[in-house]
Structure 1
Amino acid sequence: MNIEKSASHILDRVKAHGADGDLIIDEGKTLSLRAQAGELEEHKVSSILIFGLRIIKDGHVGTAYSEASNENALNSMVDQALLNASFAKVEPDEKILDISGSLKTNDEILCPSDVVTIEDKIAFTLSMEEELLAKKKIKNVPYNGVSDTISKRSVFTTSGLHASSKQRYCSAAAHALMEDEEKTVMEGSGKVSREFGELNYQTIVEETYNRCLSLLDGQAIPTRHYDVILDEEYQPALFSIFSSMFSAQSAKDGVNPMRDKIGELIADERLNISDSPLLVDGFGYALFDSEGTATAPTPLIKRGYLETLAHNSATAKHFGVKTTGHASRSPKSTLGIGLHQMYIDKGNDSESTLHAGEYLLITDLAGLHSGANPISGQFSFGASGYLMNDGERLQPVRNITIAGNFYEMLKKISAVGTELFWDQGRTSLMPHIRFSDIAISGS
Structure 2
Amino acid sequence: MSEMKTLEQAIEQVLELATKQGAQADVIASSGESFSLKADQGELAEYKVTASQVIGVRVIKDDHVAISYSESLEPESLEQMVSQALTNASYTKKDPLQKIRAEGLTIRTEQPEIFQEDTATPEQKIELALSLEGRIREKPLAKSAPYNGYSENSSITLLGNTLGTRCSHQERTFSCYTTALIDHNGKQAMHIAASVARRFDGLSPDKIINDAYEMADALLEGEPVATGSYAVVFAQDCLNEVLGAFGSVFSGESAKRGINPWRDKVGEQVASPLLTLKDVAYMENGHAIKAFDGEGFATGDTSLIEDGKLIGLLHNSATAAHFGVKPTANAGRSAKGTLSVSSRHDVISAGSSSEAEVTAGEYLELVELQGVHSGADAISGEFSFGASGFLCRDGKRIRPVRGITVAGNFYKMIKEVDAVGNTVIPNYDGRFFAPMIRFARLSVAGK
Provide TM-score, normalisation by structure 2. Answer: 0.98
Does residue 393 (structure 1) correspond to residue 397 (structure 2)? The answer is yes
Letter in 1 for 2:249: M
Does residue 377 (structure 1) correspond to residue 399 (structure 2)? The answer is no
The match for 2:16 is 12
Q: Which runs of 5+ in 1 are unaligned?
A: none
Letter in 2 for 1:57: K
* Contact 1:107–1:166 (Cα < 8 Å) also in 2: no
**2:89 is paired with a residue of what secondary structure?**
helix
Choose which of 115, 125, 132 in structure 1 pairs with 2:129.
Answer: 125
The match for 1:114 is 118
The match for 2:38 is 34
Once the two structures are overlaid, the 10-residue window that deviates more, 400-409 or 102-111, is 102-111
1:417-428 aligned within 5 A:
417-428=421-432
Choose which of 130, 150, 157 in structure 1 pairs with 2:161.
Answer: 157
The match for 1:195 is 199
Partners of 1:436 and 1:101 in 2: how far apart? 47
The match for 2:188 is 184
* Contact 2:105–2:297 (Cα < 8 Å) also in 1: no
Partners of 2:67 and 2:169 in 1: how far apart? 22
Letter in 2 for 1:358: E
Partners of 2:353 and 2:287 in 1: how far apart? 28
Partners of 1:186 and 1:107 in 2: how far apart? 38
**1:142 is paired with a residue of what secondary structure?**
coil
Partners of 1:14 and 1:272 in 2: how far apart? 44
Partners of 1:79 and 1:41 in 2: how far apart? 44
Provide TM-score, normalisation by structure 1. Answer: 0.99
* Contact 1:139–1:179 (Cα < 8 Å) also in 2: yes
Choose which of 298, 301, 304 in structure 1 pairs with 2:305.
Answer: 301
Partners of 1:237 and 1:152 in 2: how far apart? 28
Partners of 1:20 and 1:428 in 2: how far apart? 36
Please give the per-residue CA displacement for 1:280-311, whole angstroms capped at 9, x wherever unaligned. 41111121110011111100000100000100
1:23-422 aligned within 5 A:
23-106=27-110, 108-422=112-426
**1:23 is paired with a residue of what secondary structure?**
strand
Partners of 2:192 and 2:13 in 1: how far apart? 48
Query: Cα–Cα, structure 1 residues 280 and 83, in superposed 2: closer, same or farther, change >3 Å?
Result: farther
Partners of 1:32 and 1:107 in 2: how far apart? 25
The match for 1:429 is 433
* Alignment RMSD: 1.0
* Contact 2:102–2:297 (Cα < 8 Å) also in 1: no
The CA deviation at 1:255 is: 0.2
The CA deviation at 1:58 is: 0.5
**1:386 is paired with a residue of what secondary structure?**
strand
**1:362 is paired with a residue of what secondary structure?**
strand
Partners of 1:2 and 1:28 in 2: how far apart? 13
* Contact 1:107–1:167 (Cα < 8 Å) also in 2: no
The CA deviation at 1:98 is: 4.1
The CA deviation at 1:204 is: 1.5
* Contact 2:132–2:149 (Cα < 8 Å) also in 1: no
Please give the per-residue CA displacement for 1:123-166, whole angstroms capped at 9, x wherever unaligned. 11112211110111211111000011112211111111111111
Partners of 2:102 and 2:147 in 1: how far apart? 47
Letter in 2 for 1:244: S
**1:407 is paired with a residue of what secondary structure?**
helix
* Contact 2:64–2:92 (Cα < 8 Å) also in 1: yes
The match for 1:3 is 7
Following TM superposition, where does structure 1 have runs of at least 4 consecutive aligned residues deviating by more than 2 angstroms? none
* Contact 2:240–2:432 (Cα < 8 Å) also in 1: yes
Letter in 2 for 1:18: G
Partners of 2:357 and 2:201 in 1: how far apart? 38
The CA deviation at 1:101 is: 2.9
Partners of 1:375 and 1:332 in 2: how far apart? 28
Letter in 2 for 1:433: I
**1:418 is paired with a residue of what secondary structure?**
coil
Letter in 1 for 2:288: G
* Contact 1:300–1:306 (Cα < 8 Å) also in 2: yes
Partners of 1:2 and 1:107 in 2: how far apart? 23
The percent identity for this pair of structures is 40
Q: Which runs of 5+ in 2 are unaligned?
A: none
Q: Number of residues paired by the alignment?
A: 443
Please give the per-residue CA displacement for 1:47-97, whole angstroms capped at 9, x wherever unaligned. 110111100000000100111111111111100100000001110111011
The CA deviation at 1:176 is: 1.8
Partners of 1:342 and 1:202 in 2: how far apart? 28
The CA deviation at 1:181 is: 2.3
Partners of 1:18 and 1:66 in 2: how far apart? 21
* Contact 2:421–2:436 (Cα < 8 Å) also in 1: yes
The CA deviation at 1:107 is: 5.9
Please give the per-residue CA displacement for 1:378-425, whole angstroms capped at 9, x wherever unaligned. 110100000000000100000000011111111101100011111111
Once the two structures are overlaid, the 10-residue window that deviates more, 24-33 or 105-114, is 105-114
**1:30 is paired with a residue of what secondary structure?**
strand
Partners of 1:275 and 1:41 in 2: how far apart? 39
**1:112 is paired with a residue of what secondary structure?**
coil
**1:114 is paired with a residue of what secondary structure?**
coil
Letter in 1 for 2:92: A
